[in-house]
Structure 1
């Protein structure tokens, strides 16, 4: 009896030690990703047609936070950083964080590492609404019509997908994925009709540029518009990390562990749609961030959503900021959209992941 009690206490003590070690590792890795994000944001603010030294960029940003420092800088550099580059960088970080977190949610819900937020029709719905606004020239009435319409289109498309899923009376997530893919195909066809019948070259170029995804022209108003929704949604999904971990084992196992699978799934899908729709509304359709970033983090550090969700947010933010920096500087003579750069980087990685999963299943 005493021997069994000692063995039980030893096992509990070993679990406590392993738990502390894992959390120390997670804190270190999150701190490292946070450092990469901060470094990439400072780098993006320093690089451009008007180069600004690293130290002066840091001084300008610290001065904006009312933190005293002894470095001097000229007023022109402060205007370039604070009024032109920093809003674009912050919007890129917010959109990247939203797409990375939404991708981690989708891959956890569908138990498929090759799924991204656009598969359930959110991005395509936002794209269709934005294309319609550009096609009919409604942007001239207000700058907020385009992001507002895109956000509304994302919510409507998500509602349609969930409604059709409910009417199908099939609760499997694979059915939800098929409904989303079907809506994507239909919306893509409708967008092609608008593109083919664009009234002028100007509308056509606006539509194509928006569909490629970009971070041109964001202001502090855009930052104020999207930051509350995206940050609140990211914090909200982190409270469901335990439920997502349970749902990876299957719906039956999750229910036996006390998880309300239906309610949790709808909440996570809603928060994912909110993040994706808000991000797409100001940046256009940007792919592969929500696919590649959470999958790579999962391969390197495991599938515990307590770490995976915040790590995907930080990793997605850093990835998109760096991709936007590449799009601005790598091809100076060509106006290359950040969505194109993400596709150039993400597509080869996606093919590698597919080949890796094929070999693993053989």
Structure 2
């Protein structure tokens, strides 16, 4: 290994270490903030007791809040933000459209319909889990949107227009299922969940989210060069020897799976997969070997921060996290659009 290669290697190791430290600090901060504030030192002591078996004096109630409620919530929030951001990067590269993301392409809406069908209608006769139902719904929605876009031919923005139509249709199906078959208590819970909610997440949810997002990010990183090629179009990617159809199916399936798992746990959250990839490109450009991990980090930090805001913005109430991401994401996306226009 040459001197330059070694320098680049250690630079990347250092950057990864700094990124992990930032994420750990954000999660520790999120664990300490809430209706009952807990000092950071108490958080660190409680975590050390659980992980390393130390015997730091920590109040039993505080320890329970930290470990059983807030830390699992922060882990799921970080996983969700990372997964949605990576999905946004992949879809924007594959479809060559800066507006592509799981929310606009109907994947989130389809996953919501699939999850609600399993919970309320009992789809699958008890053989389908909530995540599998959401995954099936996400795939059905994307196939529907893709077929609709193909019918539109070479119409500019066809995939986005088809995604809006698909989102509206699957959102309407979800509302119809809830209105027709859910009782009042189920309807209230599902409508709050559909706006994005981390209130009920626990360690079993984290045990599902972390491996899925980690594996999804690893798969996408393995195809980072292929995503670079797709930036110049399918024909360019094919000319470089990339199996276009197989890579398309694999990466879109990976994005759909990550989105479906997140929707099944926290509901439908918009703007993360749309705005975060643009923010990451501002720092590292379009090379996906750097773009994917940075987008995952920024997405994780953003959603952890949004969860903190959702818990403290209204005293005594928890605002749906999807509301917070939309309030932040919409103005941020408007600024990105204006900035690009100025650069032109």
Common topology (TM > 0.5):
yes
Moved more, 218-227 or 230-239: 218-227
* Partner residue, 1:38: 24
State which structure, 1 or 2, has the greater radius of gyration over its C-alpha atoms: 1
Give runs of aligned pairs for residues 82-97 of structure 1, distance below 5 A: 82-97=67-82
Q: CA deviation at 1:269?
A: 0.6
Paired residues, number: 341
Aligned residue among 28, 45, 70 for 1:59: 45
Instruction: Indicate whether 1:156 and 2:140 are aligned.
Output: yes
Q: CA deviation at 1:150?
A: 2.7
Say whether the 8 Å CA contact 2:78–2:303 is kept in structure 1.
yes
Say whether the 8 Å CA contact 1:37–1:315 is kept in structure 2.
no
Instruction: Indicate whether 1:225 and 2:211 are aligned.
Output: no
CA RMSD of aligned residues (A): 3.1
* Partner residue, 1:252: 235
* Partner residue, 1:47: 33
3-state SS of paired residue (1:335): coil
Say whether the 8 Å CA contact 1:110–1:174 is kept in structure 2.
no
Say whether the 8 Å CA contact 1:135–1:207 is kept in structure 2.
no
* Partner residue, 2:271: 288
Q: TM-score, normalised by structure 1?
A: 0.83
* Partner residue, 2:92: 107
Give runs of aligned pairs for residues 203-282 of structure 1, distance below 5 A: 203-282=186-265
Q: TM-score, normalised by structure 2?
A: 0.87
Say whether the 8 Å CA contact 1:135–1:198 is kept in structure 2.
yes
Classify 1:155/1:112 alpha carbon distance in 2 versus 1 (closer, same or farther; 3 Å): closer
Classify 1:172/1:306 alpha carbon distance in 2 versus 1 (closer, same or farther; 3 Å): farther
Q: CA deviation at 1:263?
A: 1.6
Listed as ranges, the gaps of 5+ residues in structure 2 are: none
Q: CA deviation at 1:236?
A: 0.9
| Separation in 2, partners of 1:265, 1:259 | 10
| Separation in 2, partners of 1:263, 1:222 | 31
| Separation in 1, partners of 2:319, 2:152 | 45
Say whether the 8 Å CA contact 1:33–1:315 is kept in structure 2.
no
